[in-house]
Amino acid sequence: MVSKQQQVDRDTSVNRRHFLAQSAGVAVVASSSSYFASNAAARKPAKKADDAEIASKELYASLSDSQKKVIALPWSDPRRTKIHPNWSITEMEIGPFLNKAQGELVRRIVKGITSEDGHGRLLQQMDDDGGGLDAYSIALFGNPDSGPFEFELTGRHLTLRADGNSTAGAAFGGPLVYGHSVKGNSPKNLFSYQTKKANEVFKALDGKQQKKALLAKAPGEGAVKLRKNLKALPGIKVGSLSSDQQELVSNTLQTIIAPYRKEDVAEAMEVVKAGGGLGELRIAFYQSGDIDNDKEWDVWRLEGPTVVCHFRGAPHVHAYINIARRS
């Protein structure tokens, strides 16, 4: 009998070639200047009738009364806005709870809200950490025929959303969480490339800049609400950096959100712009959680008027993305 760990190792080996083949798509990201100068059509928010939302409505329509009692929840239910790296939003698992056709709709939703590379990574993450997509849980908030509506998937190290712009001002429909149980700085960790990208920023800073950017202890990983007191934002202000250093920060931000569909990425960048643009962000690195004490900073944070991205790479990845317009 194959052990769970052997199965994880085997699955990881099988899929590694796919991720290597896709890596160029993640590495090549638009510059801050070219991105914000792109035409308005390319920056439109996610369409209300994207395939993920269509599939979400089809899933809602297919539910039996008994299924609705478990996963069809009011828009006002507090579970819709909760974030956590490891929880089940409802007391069900996709595999045993939904029929085959409904399960395919969930797969269609997940594919619809992710990029090609992100889809592969997140499916692999679910396989490694939670036993596969069928072991995760979903909820459907609201009613697609009468008001705001959102699909949400949660489980170990993952929160995904599809809302068709029902959540006013929030990119991605609200805060997202992702992670991976493999050691945070291991090349086998599905998101270690993001920390490498962030550390390119740190290495490009001069001594005085590094002193401003490097802090002793990180805030709690779940502290990702937008701050009212912008003077309290940690780290070094991106607007004080040189153009080439700002370009590296832009690449880091876009690498973080690259796993998601292009419409949501475009909306997220519009929200950043509404908050004053890249120059209003601050980037901070933290000495706490330095795996192997190698000064490759495994815990870091991007924060601004409309952005909080917190990346905890130690001992393994927990990452949070909250990009929303200020109320």
Segments of the chain with pLDDT less than 70? 1-49
Please identify which residue in the block is written with the tokens 């815990």: 299
Find residue 311's DSSP bridge partners.
300, 319
> Two tokens at 16?
């590694």
Helices (H), 99-140: 100-112, 116-130
What is the token pair recorded at 298?
Answer: 């495994």
pLDDT at 81: 94
Whether 195 and 296 have beta carbons less than 8 Å apart is answered as yes
What is the structure's pLDDT at 9?
45
Q: Which pTM does this prediction carry? A: 0.84
How high is the pLDDT of residue 61? 98
Letter string b/e over residues 41-54, b meaning 16 or more CB atoms within 10 A of that residue's CB: eebeebeeebebbb
- Length, in residues, of the chain: 327
Q: CA 44, CA 295: separation in Å to the nearest integer?
A: 40
Render pLDDT for 11-43 as a digit per residue (tens, 0 to 9). Answer: 444 343 344 334 433 333 333 333 333 333 333
Q: Concatenate the DSSP letters of all residues of 45-108 into one string.
A: PPPTT-HHHHHHHHHHHH--HHHHHHHEE-TT-GGGT---SB--SSS--HHHHS-HHHHHHHHH
pLDDT digits (tens, 9 = 90+) for 193-208: 999 999 999 999 999 9
Query: Could you state, in order of their start, the residue ranges of all structural domains in the chain?
Result: 4-18+44-178, 32-41+180-323
- Between the alpha carbon of residue 325 and those of residues 33, 113, 193, the distances in Å are 21, 20, 28
Distances (CA, A) of 62 to 59, 106, 134: 5, 12, 18
DSSP notation for 197-222: HHHHHHHHS-HHHHHHHEESSPPPTT
